[in-house]
A and B are shown apart, each in its own frame.
Chain A
Amino acid sequence: QVTLKESGPGMLQPSKTLSLTCSFSGFSLSTSGMVVSWIRQPSGKSLEWLAAIDWDGDKYYNPSLKSRLTVSKDTSNTQVFLKITSVDIADTATYYCARRHPIFNYGSSYVMDAWGQGASVTVSS
């Protein structure tokens, strides 16, 4: 069974760095073609794909946020991390990590077939 779970600080102040962790099981990020993405959703709004990391450690970012994002993974390939620098109120959202559907084992197609429950993040002074 594939499961993912996000964890984060809950609340942080503007200008700080947001650090999120995605812990997953039921699949291996070392499998060729496997990708874990980060997506966020402000309350009552749509989804925004942020970043992804693949089995080979290659990283992909949404150009609109690229300068502020860093995605990484641990050496055991059971956790993926996301850092967002210089947060402001507009970064308030639920942050999801998700696995790319294995059928999409190429290119920049990020169709997600398994999602975490989401981590709510509020940026406030």
Chain B
Amino acid sequence: DIQMTQSPASLSASLGETVTIECLASEDIYSNLAWYQQKPGKSPQLLIYYANSLNDGVPSRFSGSGSGTQYSLKINSLQSEDVSIYFCQQNYDSPNTFGAGTKLELK
């Protein structure tokens, strides 16, 4: 199985700040990378697919980038509603696998 390593495991940031979350795949996944947001007590919601395509209804302050084995999720101008756990998922090979998650909190 392809291993997905996310970093950091947690981070604390202030309102209005820009934050970046990284995801490293154990092999080339050719941009087949999705990001999900999971708010406390809720189910995951798709943010980005194909590494940089924003899902419908997702605010433009979210963006994704990367290629090969290295990918990142950037959140510009952090809002209080962005407090969540973020997961990356590779959908290049079966079984699709997820990162361990990054917990984002407000400072």
Binding site for B on A (CB under 8 A): 45-49, 60, 62-64, 96, 101, 103-104, 108-113, 115-118
Contact = CB atoms under 8 A, between A and B. Distances in A.
A62 B49 contact: no
A1 to B, nearest CB: 13
Interface of B: 1, 32, 34, 36, 42-46, 49, 55, 87, 89, 91-101
Contacts, number: 56
Given A111-B91, A117-B43, 15 more contacts: A45-B100, A46-B99, A47-B36, A47-B87, A62-B95, A63-B95, A96-B43, A108-B96, A109-B91, A110-B91, A111-B96, A112-B44, A112-B46, A113-B55, A115-B43
B31 to A, nearest CB: 12
Contact of B43 (A101, A104, A118): A118
20 contacts: A45-B100, A46-B87, A46-B100, A46-B101, A47-B87, A47-B89, A60-B94, A63-B95, A64-B1, A96-B44, A101-B46, A104-B49, A108-B94, A109-B32, A109-B96, A110-B91, A111-B46, A113-B46, A115-B45, A117-B42
Interface of A is mostly: loop
